[in-house]
Structure 1
Amino acid sequence: MNRRALMTIATLAVVLVVLAMFGQGRSTSPSLSGAVLLPGLGAVLNDIDEITLVRAGNETIASLRRSEQGWTVPEKGGYPADVAKIREALLALSEARVMEEKTSNPEFYDRLGVEPVESASAAGTAVTIRHGDETFSTVILGDVEGTGYRYARRADEALGLLIDRDPELPRSAPQWLVTGILDLRADRIREVTIDHADGERVRIFKDDAGQTNYSVEAVPDGRELQYPGVANVIGNVLRELALEDVERAPDDESVPSVTTAFRTFDGLVVTARGSERDGQNWIEFEAAFDAEPGAEPAAEPVQDEPGQDDPGEAADEDQGLDARAEAEAIDSTVAGWRYQIPSYKYEQMTRRMEDLLNPAE
Structure 2
Amino acid sequence: MKAKTLGILAAITILGIVVAIFVNQEPASQLPHSGKLLFPSLLSAVNDVNEVVVETKDQTVTLVRKENTWGVKEKAGYRADVEKVKQGLIGLAELRILEPKTKNPELYNRLGLQDKEQEGSLSTTVTLKTPNNPEAALVIVGNQRPAKGNPRMSEIYVRKPGDPQTWLVIGSLPLEKVPGEWLDKEITALPSKRVHRVAVTHPGGETLLVSKDKPEDLDFQLDSIPAGFKVSSQFNVNNVVGTLVQLPLEDVKKEQEVNFQDHPGVTAVLETFDGLRLHVQTAKQEDKIFGKFSAEFDPALVRLVDATPSPEKGKTVPAQDSAQDEKALGSPEEKQPGEEQGEISPEEDSILRKPEEVKEEVEAFNNRTEGWVYELPTFRVENFSKARKDLLATIP
TM-score computed with the length of structure 1 as normaliser: 0.78
Task: Provide Cα deviations, 1:230-270, integer angstroms capped at 9, x if missing partner.
Answer: 41111222333332322222177622311011011232110
Match of 2:330 in 1: none
Counterparts in 2 of 1:63 and 1:251: CA distance versus 1, 3 Å:
closer
1:29-108 equivalent positions in 2, closer than 5 A: 31-57=32-58, 59-60=59-60, 62-68=61-67, 70-108=69-107
Q: What is the one-letter code of the residue matched to 2:277? A: V
The list of structure 1 runs, each at least 4 consecutive aligned residues, that deviate by more than 6 angstroms after superposition, is 312-315
Of 144, 156, 164 in structure 1, the residue corresponding to residue 162 of structure 2 is 156
Q: Secondary structure at the match of 1:261?
A: strand
Q: Matched residues in 2 for 1:341 and 1:258: separation?
A: 13
Is residue 228–residue 394 contact of structure 2 (8 Å, CA) maintained in 1?
Answer: no
Is residue 265–residue 298 contact of structure 1 (8 Å, CA) maintained in 2?
Answer: no
Q: Secondary structure at the match of 2:373?
A: strand
Match of 1:296 in 2: 303
Q: What is the one-letter code of the residue matched to 1:257? A: G
Q: What is the one-letter code of the residue matched to 2:364? A: A
Q: Matched residues in 2 for 1:321 and 1:170: separation?
A: 39
Q: Matched residues in 2 for 1:178 and 1:268: separation?
A: 22
Is residue 267–residue 295 contact of structure 1 (8 Å, CA) maintained in 2?
Answer: yes
Q: What is the one-letter code of the residue matched to 1:136? A: A
Q: Matched residues in 2 for 1:358 and 1:78: separation?
A: 47
- Give 1:56 deviation, angstroms: 1.9
313-322 or 177-186: bigger deviation: 313-322
Match of 1:259 in 2: 267
Q: Matched residues in 2 for 1:297 and 1:143: separation?
A: 59
Q: Matched residues in 1 for 2:104 and 2:245: separation?
A: 53
338-347 or 317-326: bigger deviation: 317-326
Match of 2:108 in 1: 109
Is residue 63–residue 71 contact of structure 2 (8 Å, CA) maintained in 1?
Answer: yes
Q: Matched residues in 2 for 1:272 and 1:102: separation?
A: 55
Counterparts in 2 of 1:264 and 1:119: CA distance versus 1, 3 Å:
same
- Give 1:31 deviation, angstroms: 4.8
- Give 1:328 deviation, angstroms: 2.4
Match of 1:279 in 2: 287
Q: Secondary structure at the match of 2:295?
A: strand
Q: Matched residues in 2 for 1:314 and 1:214: separation?
A: 16
Q: Matched residues in 2 for 1:266 and 1:32: separation?
A: 59
Match of 2:228 in 1: 222
Counterparts in 2 of 1:358 and 1:86: CA distance versus 1, 3 Å:
same
Of 326, 341, 349 in structure 1, the residue corresponding to residue 384 of structure 2 is 349
Counterparts in 2 of 1:258 and 1:314: CA distance versus 1, 3 Å:
closer
Of 197, 207, 212 in structure 2, the residue corresponding to residue 201 of structure 1 is 207
Q: What is the one-letter code of the residue matched to 1:116? A: D
Is residue 38–residue 136 contact of structure 1 (8 Å, CA) maintained in 2?
Answer: no
Q: Matched residues in 1 for 2:103 and 2:394: separation?
A: 68
- Give 1:142 deviation, angstroms: 0.9
Q: What is the one-letter code of the residue matched to 1:346? A: V
Q: Matched residues in 1 for 2:192 and 2:240: separation?
A: 9
Q: Matched residues in 2 for 1:145 and 1:232: separation?
A: 43
Q: Matched residues in 2 for 1:337 and 1:297: separation?
A: 35
Task: Provide Cα deviations, 1:133-162, integer angstroms capped at 9, x if missing partner.
Answer: 421353111111332210111122222210
Q: What is the one-letter code of the residue matched to 1:288? A: E
Q: What is the one-letter code of the residue matched to 1:102? A: K
Q: What is the one-letter code of the residue matched to 1:296? A: R
Q: Secondary structure at the match of 2:164?
A: coil
Q: Secondary structure at the match of 2:45?
A: helix
- Give 1:127 deviation, angstroms: 0.2
Q: Matched residues in 1 for 2:302 and 2:277: separation?
A: 12
Unaligned 5+ segments in structure 2 are 1-30, 148-153, 307-345
- Give 1:277 deviation, angstroms: 1.7
Is residue 274–residue 355 contact of structure 2 (8 Å, CA) maintained in 1?
Answer: no
Match of 2:276 in 1: 268
Q: What is the one-letter code of the residue matched to 1:49? A: N
Counterparts in 2 of 1:172 and 1:215: CA distance versus 1, 3 Å:
same
- Give 1:326 deviation, angstroms: 2.7
- Give 1:352 deviation, angstroms: 1.2
Q: Secondary structure at the match of 2:280?
A: strand
Match of 1:316 in 2: 350
Is residue 103–residue 160 contact of structure 1 (8 Å, CA) maintained in 2?
Answer: yes
- Give 1:298 deviation, angstroms: 9.4
Q: How many positions carry a matched residue from both structures?
A: 317
Q: Matched residues in 2 for 1:298 and 1:340: separation?
A: 37
1:180 matches 2:179: no
Q: Matched residues in 1 for 2:119 and 2:348: separation?
A: 55
1:229-248 equivalent positions in 2, closer than 5 A: 230-248=236-254
- Give 1:360 deviation, angstroms: 9.6
1:140 matches 2:174: no
Q: Matched residues in 1 for 2:367 and 2:378: separation?
A: 25
Task: Provide Cα deviations, 1:182-205, integer angstroms capped at 9, x if missing partner.
Answer: 222222211111111122221112
Unaligned 5+ segments in structure 1 are 1-29, 300-311
Is residue 137–residue 154 contact of structure 1 (8 Å, CA) maintained in 2?
Answer: no
Task: Provide Cα deviations, 1:108-150, integer angstroms capped at 9, x if missing partner.
Answer: 2221111111135222211011122421353111111332210
Q: Secondary structure at the match of 2:243?
A: coil
Is residue 113–residue 143 contact of structure 1 (8 Å, CA) maintained in 2?
Answer: yes
Q: Secondary structure at the match of 1:138?
A: strand
